[in-house]
A and B are shown apart, each in its own frame.
Chain A
Amino acid sequence: MAALLIKNFLRTKGFIFGLLILFLSGLTSLYIGKHFLEKNHEIVKKTAHFQQENIDRYVQNTKEMGSLLYYIRFGLSNQASNLAGLSIGQRDINPAVMSVTIRNLQEQKYNTDLMNPMYQLIGNLDFSFVLLYLFPLIIIAFGFNLVSEEKEEGTWSLVLSQAISPLKMLLIKMGIRYVSVLAVLLLLFFIAKLYLQISFDVAFIAYIVNSLLYVSFWFCAVWLVVSFHKNSSQNALILLTSWVLLTIVIPASVNAAIVHLYPAPEAFSTVLESRDGYHTKWDKPKEPTIQKFYQRYPQFAQFKHPDEADYSTLWYYAMQQAGDDEAATQANALKEKLRKRDALSTTIGLVIPTIHTQLMLNSLSLSDMRNYLNFNEKLQEFHERKKLYFFPKMFSNVPILQENWKIFPLEYFQDKADVQWLRAILPLLIISMLCVLWAQKNFIKNNTLNRHL
């Protein structure tokens, strides 16, 4: 029976066409991912090169350590995982490299807008788009008339009169569709592995498992809908409505709700505060600014501002520090809100398979909000290290050429995917199981399908 059902499947042009569409759009998405990774790599490479070039140029043309460090920038790269070629996520809007001077950090960090309207939506036709949006459509097209086509084509009565278990036949029919779609998915992963040079690590395995479960969820959903024995057009309507809700309406609404719940005007006000923090100091007595700096960094108390002087490196950087310190509350509040947004969408994702899968895939690909926040923390540490290294040298005005300027290359931050198997798998597994159990109840209720003509 299975062999003939496979034959029937393979001889139906629509199915082969559907599988081909999936495969080709998958290939296109891999090409886009490859392009993204190469561009990203290029940016990092160029930044590394120009950073050194930039330092060398200023070292030659600047006299004082203080003014040199006003200009030169030190970069920290947020290293992309090659999995980001599959899920570009937020990496197309968050910078791959941040290059900062040792002046105040907050202004440099938040000069760009932080609002991400596409938080739950997908911008690129990357692999995760193909998986989240196109795979379900093809799965729906393959399965919506699993039973109803038999009824509408007139074969069902003969099937019922012959079959010891019509349910078994339906399971095999569904199984063939499932395996064929899975085969395309696994083939795409195989090609992606080679083409995007993804290392076969736990993150990639988790990525594959999550994708398989997502595809399985849609098959279970289709199985549930066909178990109601409605006609083809009703099934198509129900499934397409579910698709629109799950892939577009719910994620967009959740996004809007989260943004509303945790508004983030702090990005803007942090920049203002931090700018005011030091700009206003120009016109104020210098002593309080310097005293605050001593409080913050007692180890630099030995360095003094020359009495009555209009300007000193110590005072200038104390003023910059004041900018960061005064914006610190705002900056932390922003970080906190972004973490809360992330946590809430993760929680909502537990019951919405599309949101869950997308967040999981982006998280495994290090292209999510959490990675961006982690990177920002590292950037702060990086900035602090550079300050602590250069402050004493600037304040004691060490001659520029005494310093070896070849030891400040681009630095790299390598985030690590946090694979929580239960959290990744359980939500999809439970929802799929519920669909199957409900379908089973329907099939049993219909008395082994016999009464349904």
Chain B
Amino acid sequence: MLTATNLTKKYGENTALNSLNLNIEPGEIFALLGQNGAGKTTTINCFLGFIEPSSGTANINGVSVKDHALETKKHLAYIPETVMLYPNLTGVENLEFFSSLAGFSYSKEELTSFLSKAGLQSTAHQQRVGGYSKGMRQKVGIAIAIAKKAKALLLDEPTSGLDPKASNEFSEILKELSANGTAILMATHDIFRAKEVANRIGIMKEGNLVSIINAKDISANELEQLYLQTV
């Protein structure tokens, strides 16, 4: 579903992403680990079409992002590291707005159920987002992603700012989505969450994907050791 072929991004002399080859199947969760600047966000931005690769291709469902940005965007949902919303609109209204951008028109009940599923307490649904905590905004972001019913989900450190309980609920949501066939690419610093939720884990260093591990073949501690050795 998500395929990178020799995907490379250079900024002048600096190589942010070096010849990445990656294929994520429908229903698979792939976690990218790595330090800041290792190329995780660059990878995600190439799939989103936010940045143009220097060489190589990023394909979604077999379609090149570079050539058909609008087409590939339909299959993608995205949760940024910090979800920023319109402070003058309520949680429900923000969800409704972002869904309408993607061409969806949901009833109030559907919108409420998406928010509840994302773990946002129902008392907050009708409150303006201006008063939300980061975690609450993050949950609206998750609801927006769920509501898009996309074939592929791109997550850039989505659980940063979430408390452990919320993170755990989020993992459940991801598992449910993958069970329904969604391909998920998640950049994260949370080694234990990665081991918990992902099928495969990639470790990046200085723009290179240096190792790929099957999550079920490794314990969290071993993964941490490997990570520390790699970076």
Give me the interface of A with B, judged by CB distance under 8 Å: 1, 4-5, 7-8, 11-12, 153-155, 157-165, 169, 447-448, 450-451, 453
Contacts and interface: CB of A to CB of B under 8 A. Distances in A.
Contacts of B128: 11
A451 B88 contact: no
Q: Is the interface of B mostly helix, strand, loop or mixed?
A: mixed
Contact of B144 (A5, A158, A453): A158
A164 B70 contact: yes
A452 to B, nearest CB: 8
Given A158-B78, A158-B80, A447-B69, A164 B102 contact: yes
A453 to B, nearest CB: 5
18 contacts: A1-B100, A4-B100, A5-B97, A12-B88, A154-B82, A155-B84, A158-B141, A159-B101, A161-B73, A161-B76, A161-B77, A162-B78, A164-B73, A164-B102, A164-B103, A169-B101, A447-B69, A453-B45
A447 B73 CA distance: 13
A7 B93 contact: yes
Nearest to A165: B70
Nearest to A152: B84
Interface stretch (B47-55, B179-187, B196-204, B210-218): B47-55
A435 B192 CA distance: 54
Contacts of A11: 88-89, 128
A162 B79 CA distance: 10
Contacts of A159: 98, 101
Nearest to B130: A11
A7 to B, nearest CB: 7
Contacts of B70: 164-165, 448
Contact of B93 (A4, A153, A163): A4
B138 to A, nearest CB: 12
Contacts of A447: 69
Among B52, B96, B100, the most chain A Cβ lie within 10 Å of the Cβ of B100
Contacts of B103: 164
B86 A8 contact: yes
Nearest to B69: A450
Contacts of B9: none
A115 B96 CA distance: 62
A8 B128 CA distance: 11
A450 to B, nearest CB: 5
Contacts of B51: 451, 453
Contacts of A153: 84
B48 A160 contact: yes
A8 B74 contact: no
Interface in B80-125: 80, 82-86, 88-89, 93, 96-103
Among A158, A169, A450, A451, the most chain B Cβ lie within 10 Å of the Cβ of A158
A8 B88 CA distance: 6
B50 A155 contact: no
B139 interface: no
Contact of A1 (B73, B76, B97): B97
Given A164-B70, A448-B69, A7 B48 contact: no
A450 B89 CA distance: 24
Contact of A451 (B49, B73, B78, B83): B49
A164 B84 contact: no
